[in-house]
Chains A and B, each alone.
Chain A
Amino acid sequence: MRFGKLKQKTGIVHINKLWCKGCGFCVKYCPTGVLELSKEYNHKGYHPPYVKHADQCRLCKFCEVICPEFTIYVTDEEEENHSA
């Protein structure tokens, strides 16, 4: 999606599976359906999410704020690439 010269922002989702308690908030309230709960268990026995549609992430960071476990954060793909 392009708006004139404005490039749609894309985010990179960082998930720390260890602290996830599988509440599903991030999955359900991601506006573009980027995430899905995985089948695998973490060491606490919860199903952490994984990034299913990475290219769909619009860097809105809603998953970051809604996650009660502080276990997701999202960075700007462009910045990541520049700094890399």
Chain B
Amino acid sequence: MFDDIRAEARKLLRRPAIWTLLAVALTLSLIFTYIVPYAGYAGGTSGPTADRGLAAMLPDQLVGNAIGGLPVFLGALMLILGVLTVGSEYAWGTWKTVLTQDPSRVRVYAAKLVVALLAALAGVLAVFAAGAAASALIASGESAPLDWPAAGDVLVGIGAGWLIAAMWTVLGALLAVALRGVALPVGLGLVWLLAVQSLLSLIAAPLLDWVAQVQKGLPGPNAGSLVAALGGGTDTPGVEAVVGGGQATLVIAAYVIAFAALGGATLRRRDIL
């Protein structure tokens, strides 16, 4: 197993696409959490987030800001990470080369998930670090107080962020196995995350009560609820307290386990061409 993890780590770390994902994740979170709001604040424009103004960008808001993107856009990037890790073996036909070296399918799959989840953690940590740097810069530029959140809160935030990231990553891996490739899983995953989720919560749930009830069990709303419970601004897309933080944590953890088990079982059963 350890050897398989090292093999997977080599494949992931050497892959340019993975570093592109990380760069996109950092750029997007800085732009939408700090640069655009700060530009708006500095220019005195009124907008949907303007009333929170400077306060929302200061270091004490780090946790909510850092994990605020995970229900939607950072989540989408995490899903792509999961799809790439597993789906490329189909796209390049490399499953046969790997599996005829004699590792068990489930072991390779587990190794892939371990490596992808470590990469997801690294991504979450990088977003925290970039957010900390940006907020410190803004605070000192505006002579605002440099109040950092308690270390415990930061740790809980990182843990929650990782959990949400893990759910999307493992979902990406599952889609890759189910659809045996990269393109379709990425496409369908993004349609779900970026379009269907917001249609459900913005249009369907207010109209139909049963949709509102179903929402409480879906991945996205639970991720949004966990972020909201940890101080994420509810003006961020996808962040909304549909259920409590504790329940959201349990539901997300259950999804991680279920997606992982389902993907492993499917890979084990199916023919590899």
The reply to whether chain A is a binding partner of chain B is no
Question: Which residues from chain B sit less than 8 Å from chain A, CB to CB?
Answer: none
